[in-house]
Amino acid sequence: MSETRQITKLGMPKWGLTMTEGTVVRWLVEEGAELESGDEVVEVESEKINNAVESPAAGVLRRRVAQEGEVIPVGGLLGVIADPSVPDAEIDAFVEEFQATFVPEEAGEAVGPEPQSVEVAGRRIQYLGMGEGEPPLLLIHGFGGDMNIFVFNQETLSADRAVYALDLPGHGGSSKDVGAGDLDFFASVVEGFMDALGIERAHLAGHSMGGAVAGAFALAHPERVASLVLIASAGLGEEINAGYIEGFIAANRRREMRDALRMLFADPELVTRDLVNDVLAYKRLDGVEEALRTVAGRLFPGGRQARVLDLSGVEAPILAVWGSEDRIVPAAHAENLPGGARVEIIEGKGHMVHMEAAGEVNRLIADFVG
């Protein structure tokens, strides 16, 4: 079916390669509310965390089609946004036609790109690529994470350029050999990854430990960095939540892992059972605990950050994004950035600010690298 200029579908998004459906948790606005593009409209539970679906256009929320607690397939109709001048009969006809013609994605159907891998210094590095355009954007996850922490960001950011999310050694689907386990080691992996894909120069966006890796790479290879995006970044001050680091490494039961992961979010209820189970499955892989302990011992000895980066010599533009309620790395560390850096503190969000406020962070990054 086709949408008119005055009627816009509010659909169930696809967050991640394996998502086929989402559960409506709660509506954030009432029918009749005036919306701007980007306004949060409805909270949905996905495989990873709960997140808000944003309005794709300005207008009025004319219909809340999906009910709270209802499971809706990806692409299914959540609501209808339209100009106030559109008659109710046209809204009803739009909903009726959509529901009559919509065909959900088949479970297990391959949609979108699949993870790939390259060899870097004898190690398998898994990555996911989306989009086209130069210079590309590299997404680098933090301690204990993997490419999936960018599930709400990568596809959106790939609208204007190629975007690659990689699993660092010791994480995700990459080799569990972390070598020395320090920032120079991980920066060398980023260099090797870029060489393997023929990338001469890229925008680098790193979260937490990944921010420190991106910063270390920028210091070592300034000519290869178009810009630097630091999201709740490590490497800018000595303080770090040592209890979280040790708790994450030690957790081997659901309750322990749930409690650790909840520290990452301003709203702990965002952590889902699936997220806890996925992280526990990763923790049980051969070599993971040894890798994590090696990295933690080199980067966070004695519960402090071992290396504080001086980025004053980096000529590439720098954007830092932090959640005001970050309980892992203090947002005050942004004060240690060079004077020309752009700093955005998002109120009421935690360490996983790029997941909790995905729409806002995506707009900040797209504008900055654009």
Answer whether 206's CB lies under 8 Å from 231's CB. Answer: yes
Averaged pLDDT, 189-198: 98
* Whether residues 210 and 345 fall in one domain: yes
Query: The domain containing residue 47 runs over which residues?
Result: 7-101
Averaged pLDDT, 38-54: 84
**Beta-ladder partners of 139:** 165, 205
What pLDDT is attached to residue 272?
A: 85
pLDDT tier, 183 (very low <50, low <70, confident <90, very high otherwise): very high
* Whether residues 126 and 83 fall in one domain: no
pLDDT surpasses 60 at 193: yes
109 within a domain of the structure (yes/no): no
* Whether residues 83 and 167 fall in one domain: no
Q: Which residue has the higher pLDDT, 219 or 107?
A: 219
What pLDDT is attached to residue 106?
A: 60
110 within a domain of the structure (yes/no): no
* Whether residues 97 and 122 fall in one domain: no
Averaged pLDDT, 199-217: 98
Q: Give the predicted TM-score (pTM) of the model.
A: 0.86
What pLDDT is attached to residue 218?
A: 98
- 7 SS3 class: strand
Report percent pLDDT > 70 for the chain.
Answer: 96
Averaged pLDDT, 112-128: 94
H and E: helices and strands count for the chain: 10, 16
Averaged pLDDT, 239-246: 97
Question: Which CATH number covers residue 122?
Answer: 3.40.50.1820
2 within a domain of the structure (yes/no): no
What pLDDT is attached to residue 14?
A: 82
* Whether residues 82 and 121 fall in one domain: no
Tell me the per-residue pLDDT of 300-358, one tens digit each, with 9 for 90 and over.
999 999 999 999 989 999 999 999 999 999 999 999 999 999 999 999 999 999 999 99
* Whether residues 223 and 300 fall in one domain: yes
pLDDT surpasses 80 at 54: yes
1 within a domain of the structure (yes/no): no
Q: Dig out the tokens for 164 from the structure.
A: 């690659």
Report how far residue 24's alpha carbon sits from residue 52's, in angstroms, rounded to the nearest whole number: 10
Q: Which residue has the higher pLDDT, 219 or 113?
A: 219
pLDDT surpasses 60 at 5: no
Tell me the per-residue pLDDT of 72-115, one tens digit each, with 9 for 90 and over.
999 999 999 999 999 999 999 999 999 999 988 764 444 568 89
What pLDDT is attached to residue 2?
A: 44
**Beta-ladder partners of 228:** 204, 318
* Mean pLDDT for all residues in the chain: 93
What pLDDT is attached to residue 282?
A: 95
Averaged pLDDT, 141-163: 94
* Whether residues 33 and 159 fall in one domain: no
Q: What is the largest CA-CA distance in the chain?
A: 66
The domain total for the chain is: 2
Answer whether 8's CB lies under 8 Å from 57's CB. Answer: yes
107 within a domain of the structure (yes/no): no
What pLDDT is attached to residue 112?
A: 67
Is the peptide bond between 13 and the residue preceding it cis, with omega within 30 degrees of 0?
A: no
223 within a domain of the structure (yes/no): yes
Q: Which of 71, 101, 131 is the last residue of a domain?
A: 101
* Whether residues 151 and 262 fall in one domain: yes
Report percent pLDDT > 90 for the chain.
Answer: 82
182 within a domain of the structure (yes/no): yes
pLDDT tier, 1 (very low <50, low <70, confident <90, very high otherwise): very low
Tell me the per-residue pLDDT of 154-169, one tens digit each, with 9 for 90 and over.
989 999 999 999 999 9
Report how far residue 79's alpha carbon sits from residue 76's, in angstroms, rounded to the nearest whole number: 9
44 within a domain of the structure (yes/no): yes
Report how far residue 44's alpha carbon sits from residue 36's, in angstroms, rounded to the nearest whole number: 19
pLDDT tier, 370 (very low <50, low <70, confident <90, very high otherwise): confident
* Whether residues 67 and 179 fall in one domain: no
pLDDT tier, 48 (very low <50, low <70, confident <90, very high otherwise): low
Q: Which of 76, 101, 126 is the last residue of a domain?
A: 101
What pLDDT is attached to residue 20?
A: 84
pLDDT surpasses 70 at 189: yes
What pLDDT is attached to residue 111?
A: 58
What pLDDT is attached to residue 9?
A: 94
* Whether residues 137 and 224 fall in one domain: yes
Answer whether 83's CB lies under 8 Å from 32's CB. Answer: no
Q: Which of 101, 132, 151 is the last residue of a domain?
A: 101
* Whether residues 55 and 130 fall in one domain: no
CA atoms within 13 A on the CB side of 59: 22
* Whether residues 95 and 156 fall in one domain: no
Question: Which CATH number covers residue 89?
Answer: 2.40.50.100
